[in-house]
Amino acid sequence: MGSSIRKLMELKPVSYDLIPEKLSFESDGIQRFRDQDVINQMGFLAQDVQKIFPQLVKPPDNESDLLTPGYSGLIPAIVNGMQEQQEILEIQLQ
C-alpha cells in the first residue's frame, strides 16, 4: 500500500452543496431528477482522490456524468495508515 499516511495527508476534506436536481438518473430511457433541496455534504474532490488513489474513482460514462470517488475504498488505506502510526508510536515509547 505504500505509505498510506503520506497519501491520506494529501487529501483535503471539503464541504460542498449537492444540488440533487442537477443529478439525472436514466431508467428505461427516461431522464429523471431527484426532487430535494440542496444537501450539504462533506467529502473530497474526485479529481484529488483520482491523483492519489486512481483506482477509487469511477470514470464518467459520458461527458455529462460526474467523477465519483468510491469512499468505501478508502477504508483499507485509513486502517493501514492507523497501523503505520501505531507502529511509530510504539517505537517512540520504547
Please tell me the total count of domains within the chain: 1
How many CB atoms neighbour CB 65 within 10 A? 12
Write out the H or E segment, with its range, that includes residue 57. Answer: strand 57-58
> What pLDDT is attached to residue 41?
85
> What pLDDT is attached to residue 25?
57
Per-residue model confidence as pLDDT tens digits over 63-88: 877 888 999 999 999 999 999 999 99
Give the chain's residues under pLDDT 50. 31
Instruction: Report how far residue 94's alpha carbon sits from residue 71's, in angstroms, rounded to the nearest whole number.
Output: 36
> What pLDDT is attached to residue 78?
96
Whether the model clears a pTM of 0.75, i.e. scores above it, the answer is no
> What pLDDT is attached to residue 28?
56
What residues make up the domain containing 40? 4-93
